[in-house]
Amino acid sequence: MLLGLALLTLFGCPSVDWSESYRYDQQSPFDLYTLYELLAARPEGMTVLRDSLDLERLDTATASNYVFIGHWPFYRERAVTGLLDYVERGNTVFLAATEIPEDLAYHLFGDACYYEEFEDYAGYGNERFPLVMVDSVTTYRYPAGDSFHLVNIRFWKPTPTALHVVSDRLLCNETLDNQVLGVLHTSGINFVRFGWGRGNFYFHSNPVFFTNWFLVDSTAYRYPEAMLSVIAEGPIYWDEYHRRYRRDPNSVGGQGATPRNYTGGRNLLNGNRTLLYVLERRELAFAWYTLLAGAILFVVFRGKRRQRIIPIIPPRENGSRRFIDTIGRLLYQKGNHAALARRELAFLRLHLNHRFGVKWAEGDPPPADLASRCGLPPEVVERALLQIRVVSSGKALHDGDLLRFYRAIEPLYG
């Protein structure tokens, strides 16, 4: 029986991936294959933005459209500035995501509405883009007032699903060219237009309505069709680059990051995309559970300590300070005051670099703003620089010269 179950698990019918993946090249219910093919078939054509070089095309593009549909666009500051300039030249941005990133949102909604309206809120949820749970909903498209009945499906049956809406408090500034274009019945706003320069931003807070499931449904495709009608004529730029989080180039790590809404605990399965991917595929799930069973059996039968007790090794004594004191006394006893002063000068440069960020290499002139960066009077710094020039000249130093040098540079240590 166990063998038959294993064979059925390995070679049974493929399962359906019901996760909201938003992949443009997959045909699972909540991927974007259908939308991608429809937009690519437009006469003006479509370009996929995959890397930073592709993004530079937006810097000079005119009479075009930018499209992003997914959980969250991971924009950096440069990308936000580029999008604002792109729209200001008369282009169109269509953004369907659970919420607008902060660096872009406060430009579109205004500082007062985005920050001051929510200063009194100290909870852990997102009051700007709150969640509503619905399985079926009637949506409206303005200004025509057209209505559309949509049903959220999971595993082939209607299921309450989390949808984001836009708080009306974000639209408190009536002087901005912002317009509500759609709502989720009585749940809240889900489609907004932002006028910016000669172009427009369009934001839709429910990207799931643009996936394969809704576009191939003969009773539901009219809704995404109506929403996408705001896309103007001209070529389309499809953004894949900002779909995943990319770390700073100077940091170590890859592109795959845990989603922003992952909190662990009860959200272990739904929030961890890697584990969710494994469990949705029969072969990987079978291997995963086999691994867990093997680990449990090992802990029960072979988890005892099977090695001798590791002895405690005392830490090595740090003799750096004693070594420096010894070298200093030797130099002083030999009367080599110049070498002792040069070594102290090297320590001083290292101290200024670590504490004040002063880049002062040996042989270079001192920084012109040394006094201001150290927070000392100019005459004190000038006295120290005078003694430093005496030491750097390479002349022999006597006891009095060495004493004057130490007294002069002592204030630089703060």
Q: What are the tens digits of pLDDT across the range 43-92?
A: 999 999 998 889 999 999 999 999 999 999 999 899 999 999 999 999 99
Phi (first) and psi of residue 128, to 5 degrees: -70, -40
Global pTM?
0.60
In a domain, 315, yes or no: no
Maximal C-alpha separation, the chain: 97
In a domain, 319, yes or no: no
Reported as a pLDDT band with limits 50, 70 and 90, residue 9 is low
Q: What percent of the chain has pLDDT above 70?
A: 84
Beta bridge mates, 65? 92, 236
Indicate whether 170 and 299 sit together in one domain. no
Q: Say what the pLDDT of residue 36 is.
A: 97
d(CA 160, CA 230) in angstroms, rounded, equals: 29
Number of domains in the chain: 3
Helices and strands, counts by H and E, the chain: 16, 13
Indicate whether 276 and 391 sit together in one domain. no
Task: Tell how far CA 182 is from the center of its chain.
Answer: 29
Indicate whether 285 and 374 sit together in one domain. no
Indicate whether 193 and 263 sit together in one domain. no
**End position of a domain, from candidates 284, 305, 326:** 305
Phi (first) and psi of residue 398, to 5 degrees: -105, 180
Is 50 exceeded by the pLDDT of residue 255? no
Reported as a pLDDT band with limits 50, 70 and 90, residue 3 is low
Indicate whether 169 and 202 sit together in one domain. yes
* Rounded alpha-carbon distances, angstroms, from residue 301 to 35, 158, 296, 298, 307: 54, 46, 9, 5, 16
In a domain, 311, yes or no: no
* Rounded alpha-carbon distances, angstroms, from residue 390 to 32, 327, 340, 342: 73, 22, 13, 10
Indicate whether 155 and 288 sit together in one domain. no
In a domain, 290, yes or no: yes
The domain of 37 spans: 15-251
The pLDDT tens digits for 302-359 are 766 666 677 888 887 777 667 767 766 766 666 677 777 787 888 888 888 888 888 8
What does pLDDT average to over the chain?
Answer: 83
Indicate whether 202 and 265 sit together in one domain. no
Indicate whether 298 and 407 sit together in one domain. no
Q: Say what the pLDDT of residue 408 is.
A: 83
Reported as a pLDDT band with limits 50, 70 and 90, residue 274 is confident
Reported as a pLDDT band with limits 50, 70 and 90, residue 221 is very high
Indicate whether 135 and 164 sit together in one domain. yes
The pLDDT tens digits for 178-196 are 999 999 988 999 999 999 9
In a domain, 4, yes or no: no
**End position of a domain, from candidates 234, 251, 268:** 251
Q: Is 102:78 a contact under the CB 8 Å cutoff? A: no
In a domain, 246, yes or no: yes
> How many other β-carbons are positioned within 10 Å of the β-carbon of residue 218?
6
Indicate whether 363 and 219 sit together in one domain. no
Indicate whether 58 and 98 sit together in one domain. yes
Say which residues have a Cβ less than 8 Å from residue 382's Cβ, sequence separation at least 6. Answer: none
Higher-confidence residue of 207 and 4: namely 207
- The HSE-up count of residue 382 (CA atoms within 13 Å, CB side) is 3
Say which residues have a Cβ less than 8 Å from residue 385's Cβ, sequence separation at least 6. Answer: 366, 370
> How many other β-carbons are positioned within 10 Å of the β-carbon of residue 137?
20
Higher-confidence residue of 105 and 277: namely 105
DSSP, collapsed to helix, strand or coil, labels residue 195 as strand
- Determine how β-strand 161-164 pairs with β-strand 146-151: unpaired
* Exposure b/e, 360-379, CB count within 10 A at least 16 = b: beeeeebeeebbeebebeee
Beta strands in 56-198 (DSSP E): 65-69, 92-96, 131-134, 136-141, 146-151, 153-154, 157-158, 161-164, 178-184, 189-196
In a domain, 318, yes or no: no
* Both tokens assigned to 209: 């309505």
> How many other β-carbons are positioned within 10 Å of the β-carbon of residue 190?
27
Q: Which of these ranges, 59-63, 73-77, 124-128, 168-172, has the smallest mean pLDDT?
A: 124-128
The one-letter code for the residue type at 95 is L
Indicate whether 265 and 345 sit together in one domain. no
In a domain, 157, yes or no: yes
Higher-confidence residue of 304 and 18: namely 18
Reported as a pLDDT band with limits 50, 70 and 90, residue 262 is very low
